[in-house]
Amino acid sequence: MLEQTIHDDVSQDINDAVPRTSRSPWARSRKRSNSWTAEDVAALRSFAAAGLDVKTIAIRLRRTESSIKNKTTMHGISVARRQCRNAV
């Protein structure tokens, strides 16, 4: 009986010491997603129409190449595979 009382007291002290949050303290923090705006999609369309490649568009829009590829696929936008540097 005495052991149970001591155990309950220690458990209560530990529970009081841990801050209560909606998230687990061990959960990884994530960056907020950078949602696409209508202006971003319009810029993507204009860059693709100008013949820029995925890497260049990603740099200009400050997004990953993967996000550019995904968005172009979703909207049916054709993008150059790579920019031709030796074009006449």
Tokens (6 digits) for 21: 């949050």
Would 66 be classed as within a structural domain?
yes
Chain-centre distance for alpha carbon 23 = 19
Would 21 be classed as within a structural domain?
no
Work out how many domains the chain is built from and give that number: 1
Cα separation, 21 vs 24, whole angstroms: 7
Would 59 be classed as within a structural domain?
yes
Quote the pLDDT of residue 56: 94
Give the model confidence (pLDDT) of 32-84 as tens digits.
668 999 999 999 999 999 999 999 999 999 999 999 999 999 999 999 877 66
80 C-beta neighbours (distance < 10 Å), count:
15
Would 19 be classed as within a structural domain?
no
Would 7 be classed as within a structural domain?
no
Quote the pLDDT of residue 75: 94
Would 18 be classed as within a structural domain?
no
Give the model confidence (pLDDT) of 1-24 as tens digits.
556 555 565 556 556 665 555 555
Where residue 88 falls among pLDDT bands split at 50, 70, 90?
Answer: very low
Range of the domain at 71: 37-82
